[in-house]
Copies of this chain bind each other. A is one copy, B any other.
């Protein structure tokens, strides 16, 4: 309620991308400081972003939707892959994942978000739909292309292969206690492809 003045101040202002970005960043900041989704309040986000609550409610009708968009901003769509060699596409894909993981704040927020999927199933479900599923589709398309053109075994278990690639990168970034090797994505892909290629 103490933000009413803020809301009045911004009333009538056109919905701006700048305000939206400030709101998303404010939500991420507060989550990154260890706040759970339950404790996160629209008031706190508004105060941090320097906007009124009305500005937030004009864009997001509830806190959960805002949290979903904030989390999804950390996993933006991956740019189209080259589509020439399967090996190079897999390396490029994992390089994006690795580059995102170097941000402690991102890892921290993702961990918090994941640890709350039981309490906030709608957030987890929407986040998966918006941010995770498109990446999974991209990755499975690369593997299926390789199975079709003979770069990979025709009997490859695609969901398992995806878990091996993504899980290995997650494991390496999760437990890293120093900078990760610059060629980590290449090393993972080359090791894993020994089992994925035709015999």
- Count of this chain's copies in the oligomeric assembly: 2
Whether A192 contacts B195 by the Cβ 8 Å rule is yes
Measured between beta carbons, the chain B residues less than 8 angstroms from A192 are 164, 195
User: Which of A15-23, A61-69, A71-79, A109-117 lies at the binding interface?
Assistant: A109-117
Q: Does A160 contact B (CB under 8 A)?
A: yes
The reply to whether B160 and A166 form a contact with Cβ atoms under 8 Å apart is no
| Cβ–Cβ contact A191 & B157, under 8 A | yes
Residues of A near any B CB (own CB < 8 A): 34, 36, 38, 104, 107-108, 111-112, 114-116, 118-119, 132, 157, 160-161, 163-164, 166-172, 174-175, 187-188, 191-196
Q: Which residues of B contact A34 (CB under 8 A)?
A: 36, 38, 115-116, 119
| A110 shortest CB reach to chain B, Å | 8
Most B CB atoms within 10 A — which of A171, A195, A196?
A171
Q: Is the CB of B157 within 8 A of A163?
A: no
Say how far A12's CB is from chain B's closest CB, in angstroms: 39
- Which chain B positions have C-beta within 8 A of A157? 187, 191
A115 touches B108 (CB 8 A): yes
Closest 3 CB pairs of A and B: A195-B195, A167-B171, A111-B115
What distance in Å separates the Cβ of A144 from its nearest Cβ neighbour in chain B?
Answer: 17
Known: A111-B111, A163-B172, A192-B195. 20 other contacts (CB 8 A): A34-B38, A34-B116, A112-B112, A132-B175, A157-B191, A160-B168, A160-B188, A161-B191, A163-B188, A164-B167, A164-B188, A164-B192, A167-B167, A167-B170, A167-B171, A170-B170, A191-B195, A193-B195, A194-B194, A195-B196
